[in-house]
Structure 1
Amino acid sequence: MEILMTVSKFASICTMGANASALEKEIGPEQFPVNEHYFGLVNFGNTCYCNSVLQALYFCRPFREKVLAYKSQPRKKENLLTCLADLFHSIATQKKKVGVIPPKKFITRLRKENELFDNYMQQDAHEFLNYLLNTIADILQEERKQEKQNGRLRNGDMDTEDNNSTPDPTWVHEIFQGTLTNETRCLTCETISSKDEDFLDLSVDVEQNTSITHCLRGFSNTETLCSEYKYYCEECRSKQEAHKRMKVKKLPMILALHLKRFKYMDQLHRYTKLSYRVVFPLELRLFNTSGDATNPDRMYDLVAVVVHCGRK
């Protein structure tokens, strides 16, 4: 299943509270997918940035299934992932289809682990998403490392693992990670150099009255390197004018997009929110991929959008 998730700068989301049963009756039980639950999360003081991202992630089915599978494993020391697994399990096992749940345990753990979120101020939903995914990946990699070390100790082997070796990818990487290729073409000798880098989400610029498709097209626009920004060409052994562009080399299973809605205004000496209208489709096919891209015709279905309503 391929899914598109679009993430804005901040986040807010409506929750279903006292009128949940009335809402369910009005919509009709036949409209709800089998075994699916729609629960709002209690706001503990400007925690909408967290609640909305958690709800978006809950409806990324591959991610949810991995988190629930982690819940079923032998009990581990409490961390952010165990708290997330408890929350997802609580939602998934509710008898009612709709309602509201307080994610108190998760919020408490989040504030304990990262002082950036240990307050009642609005926070950046994109920063929270990145922090959560990277923290989960770190937890999984550390647990895997500990399991390998314990296995070697039981077998009487010495610990010969190279501490500088690259950690194996986790299911977070399997779900969200894609690969970009940065291509630079020297305009003198036409030599093309490329460098790959992995990503968990793509940050794209927005303009007035634009669309996700247009934003992605702009993401891969060709940039000319000239004047003081000339490119040092290894073939020419000197600085030359060059064309530079970014392409997607490997598509992720779930594509997370971050709309860069804050722009620094020189005349104001501060960042200003760009409340531009951005049209997004229910289906999306990436066209700006490299020739090496896997599954270039992959179609993404929109599953969640996180949008902050407000000027800050």
Structure 2
Amino acid sequence: MSRLNPRALAYLNEVIHFRSLRKAAQHLNVDPSAISRQLSALEEELQIRLLERTSQGVSPTEAGDMLVAHYRQQRANEQGVLSRLSDLQGLRQGSVRIAVGEGFITDLIAQPLQSFILRYPGIDLEVRMAGANEALGLLKEDAVDLALVYAPVEDEALQVHVDTRQPLDLITPPHHPLLEHPGPIPMTALRGEALALIHSSTGMGQLAVMVAQLEHVELRPKLRTNSVAVLTNFVKSGIGVAFMPELTVSDELKAGSIRRLPLANLALHDARARILSHKGRELTVAGQACLQHLRQSMRFFSGDAPSLSRTR
């Protein structure tokens, strides 16, 4: 069999990522007809169909999936070799791509990001904001090297490097009546409360909805949003309550502008924060250095939640 065309494989990868030939062409800044010709030639050479049209756009066939997996593995292997060469040069160059949930941003930029850049001036960082579902998808597409994710679903295709316990708590205005509730708050106590709820594409949103369903409580939020900042300001303004890990709002808690209450359900109390990568994809030397730095310098990943250590 003849050699696979690297450009055609790169085009196939982008089309499958965007689920659209037109969007892939826009991203690559090439004419859609150029992509179409390359993919048609590849299908003709291999004598097998690689793409099919669906109601959601363009989807890969089994053969298309196989070729893209080969392309991504090949690209990861090449990055690994280049990384080891960089290691011989003393980490003078390299790059790391990270997907980060919004709830981690304050912790990340408070000090860890700055100190990493100062320590490794030759390593370029790309930080992409992404909810849990999107972050896991980016990892499996090899579009990022690491993902910082809260309450992710279990996935055998991903490697867990760091796992800490960060309960999903209830945050309230400073003088809210629920502060008088004896003990941890059950979901049933939230009936009738003005609630802000983050989108279910995030780990926080998925976990809260799942537990509410298990406890047969229908959450009727006054506000739905995909923004942690909007949730926080909803509570700070005194409108109502929201679900949030302690460290995401540590500054507001210290200032007294909001209060934190533990929730009763064990699934919420045992929520995890994780740093993940794509299993089977060797991290570059730069990626390993970044992983180690985040593990040591981010509060989310250097240990369990402060509230847990205070209760021991």
Same fold (TM over 0.5): no
Report the TM-score, using the length of structure 1 for normalisation. 0.24
Higher-RCO chain (CA-CA 8 Å, sequence separation at least 6): 1
